[in-house]
């Protein structure tokens, strides 16, 4: 993707032959920000060697690009003093993200390496709840005063702004540092130098609270197409900003969590390819066991109908077909509703609209499957399969049961996520397998009840 593909190789070669003069030359003119993603692709061993000879700024922005696994490995390769310097040079939000991944005791050791100021900042950020906006704030922002002119502001930025990553939006604050407005930097570029900043203000800005959930923030970014949003404390003082590039990661992580839960396991919270087998086992075994225990009721339910099965053995043949149809209809409905909820397409109080849709949908789908099921048995019977003398009754049983079960599956699948949310759980936990299990048990009861009414009375 980058302009010079060979660049990385040259770099790697120079590092390996310890030729740091060449490395230095290769770094000329480059912004640490632009180097970081390239360097992040080098093996940690090379990075460790490199970090001993490069500026802290480059080391820090590269470190921020690494996966937490590589970060830990790299820090272990550095001397404590280097590690400390690196940690101190990290942007506060990157540091928080890194410390988050560590066991508390290790994190504490790391924090001990920080300078008093940096330590204080870090502890403030770490004090915010997990997945909150506060955890992902950057403290890098430029604030100007409304009474300044554009020229004064630009001079101020020239003298202070160099290391600000986030100079796309400039914030106007009053003497107490309370946020007055946000101004896109382009307004400064295109306004005559003598314009007072106040003339650029429209008093219209979105802002976040450090305790907001990061999903909330994501929604606001999506809605207002902002590049960055200011974070204000209770006194409306601006204490940091959140940038949209972090939001891309949040979006990916949130989707991954939902998808993994929908698949019927806990969210892994780390890449499938690198998570330890024991941790993955724990994340998967829990749900699998819960589903298994739930599914045991199918054996109990079928036990009740053992005599019916003995009388009409062929009933048993269609058990998997009938109950799985309900499970599939249910997992469709659940997934659609869960995603719709996550995107905020409707509120809990609209549950009735959803239910109405699913009743219609469940009936329609049930009639279709029921008809096909009926025909399947009649045709096979016609072809000479031995479904007993009363195959027409069997066909009717399967057909009618399918209508009821698919309808019930769609209803259960669509309402369960809403109940989950109502009860304060994550709707995504009402996964396809979860709904299927629920519907299997009830489906059996529906199936054999219909069979009893039609064939066995």
Residues 326-365 that bind a second copy (CB under 8 A): 327-329, 331-332, 334-340, 343, 345-346, 350, 353-354, 357, 360-361, 364-365
- Can residue 433 be called a binding residue for a second copy (CB under 8 A)? yes
Range in contact with a second copy (rule: CB under 8 A) among 90-98, 111-119, 253-261, 416-424: 253-261
Range in contact with a second copy (rule: CB under 8 A) among 11-19, 89-97, 106-114, 432-440: 432-440
Residues 151-210 interacting with a second copy (rule: CB under 8 A)? 154, 157-158, 161-162, 164, 167-168, 181, 184-186, 188-192, 201-207
Buried/exposed 54-69: b ≥16 CB within 10 Å, e otherwise: bebebbbbbbbbbebe
To a second copy, the closest distance from the beta carbon of 105 in angstroms equals: 29
Please give the structure tokens belonging to residue 416.
Answer: 């369960």
* Distance of alpha carbon 293 from alpha carbon 313, whole angstroms: 26
**Is the Cβ of residue 45 or residue 350 nearer to a second copy in the bound state?**
350
**Is the Cβ of residue 52 or residue 223 nearer to a second copy in the bound state?**
223
Residues 390-419 interacting with a second copy (rule: CB under 8 A)? 406
Bridge partner list, 237: 178
237 phi and psi angles, rounded to 5 deg = -75, 140
Q: Which of 237, 265, 351, 449 binds a second copy (CB under 8 A)?
A: 265
- Can residue 284 be called a binding residue for a second copy (CB under 8 A)? yes
Q: Which of 295, 390, 391, 426 binds a second copy (CB under 8 A)?
A: 295
Q: Which of 235, 277, 389, 423 binds a second copy (CB under 8 A)?
A: 277
271 phi and psi angles, rounded to 5 deg = -60, 140
Residues 6+ apart with CB under 8 A from 303: none
To a second copy, the closest distance from the beta carbon of 266 in angstroms equals: 10
- DSSP H or E segment with residue 253: helix 244-262
Contact assessment for residue 345 and residue 336, using Cβ atoms and an 8 Å cutoff: no
* Distance of alpha carbon 376 from alpha carbon 197, whole angstroms: 76
To a second copy, the closest distance from the beta carbon of 391 in angstroms equals: 13
- Can residue 95 be called a binding residue for a second copy (CB under 8 A)? no
Please give the structure tokens belonging to residue 226.
Answer: 């902002």
- DSSP H or E segment with residue 172: strand 169-173
Range in contact with a second copy (rule: CB under 8 A) among 16-24, 99-107, 122-130, 224-232: 224-232
> How many residues of this chain interact with a second copy, rule: CB under 8 A?
134
411 phi and psi angles, rounded to 5 deg = -65, -50
- Can residue 108 be called a binding residue for a second copy (CB under 8 A)? no
- Can residue 12 be called a binding residue for a second copy (CB under 8 A)? no
199 half-sphere exposure, CB direction, 13 A CA radius: 12
- DSSP H or E segment with residue 240: strand 238-243
Bridge partner list, 173: 179
Residues 54-83 interacting with a second copy (rule: CB under 8 A)? none
**Is the Cβ of residue 126 or residue 259 nearer to a second copy in the bound state?**
259
To a second copy, the closest distance from the beta carbon of 8 in angstroms equals: 11
Bridge partner list, 149: 196
């Amino acid at each position: 993707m980058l302009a010079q593909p060979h660049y990385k190789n040259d770099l790697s070669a120079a590092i390996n032959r310890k030729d740091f003069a060449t490395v230095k030359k290769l770094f000329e003119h480059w912004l640490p920000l632009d180097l970081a993603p390239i360097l992040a692709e080098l093996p940690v061993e090379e990075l460790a060697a490199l970090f001993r000879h490069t500026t802290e700024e480059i080391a820090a922005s590269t470190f921020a690009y690494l996966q937490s696994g590589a970060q830990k490995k790299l820090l272990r390769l550095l001397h404590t003093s280097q590690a400390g310097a690196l940690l101190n040079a990290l942007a506060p939000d990157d540091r928080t993200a890194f410390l988050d991944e560590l066991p508390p005791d290790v994190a504490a050791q790391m924090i001990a390496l920080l300078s008093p100021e940096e330590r204080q900042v870090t502890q403030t950020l770490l004090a915010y709840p997990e997945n909150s906006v506060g955890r992902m704030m950057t403290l890098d922002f430029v604030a100007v005063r409304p009474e300044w002119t554009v020229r004064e502001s630009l001079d101020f930025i020239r003298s202070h702004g160099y290391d600000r990553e986030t100079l796309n939006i400039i914030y106007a604050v009053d003497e107490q540092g309370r946020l007055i407005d946000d101004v896109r930097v382009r307004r400064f570029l295109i306004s005559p130098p003598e314009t007072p900043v106040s003339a650029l203000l429209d008093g219209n800005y979105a802002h976040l609270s450090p305790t907001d959930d990061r999903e909330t923030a994501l929604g606001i970014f999506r809605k207002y197409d902002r590049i960055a949003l200011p974070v204000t404390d209770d006194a409306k003082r601006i204490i940091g900003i959140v940038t949209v590039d972090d939001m891309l990661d949040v979006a990916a992580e949130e989707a991954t969590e939902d998808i993994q839960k929908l698949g019927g396991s806990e969210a892994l919270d780390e890449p499938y390819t690198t998570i330890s087998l024991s941790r993955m086992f724990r994340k998967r075994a829990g749900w699998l066991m819960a589903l298994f225990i739930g599914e045991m009721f199918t054996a109990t339910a079928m036990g009740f109908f053992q005599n019916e099965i003995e009388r009409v053995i062929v009933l048993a043949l269609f058990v998997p077909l009938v109950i799985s149809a309900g499970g599939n209809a249910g997992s469709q409905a659940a997934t659609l509703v869960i995603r719709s909820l996550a995107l905020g397409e409707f509120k809990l109080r609209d549950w009735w609209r959803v239910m109405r849709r699913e009743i219609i949908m469940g009936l329609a789908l049930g009639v279709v499957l029921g008809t096909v099921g009926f025909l399947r048995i009649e045709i096979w019977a016609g072809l000479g399969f031995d479904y007993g003398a009363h195959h027409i009754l069997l066909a009717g049983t399967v057909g009618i049961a399918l209508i009821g079960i698919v309808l019930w599956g769609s209803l259960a699948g669509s309402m369960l996520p809403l109940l989950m949310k109502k009860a304060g759980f994550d709707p995504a936990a009402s996964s396809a397998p979860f709904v299927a299990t629920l519907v299997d048990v009830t489906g059996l009861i529906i199936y054999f009840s219909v069979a009893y009414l039609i064939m066995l009375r």
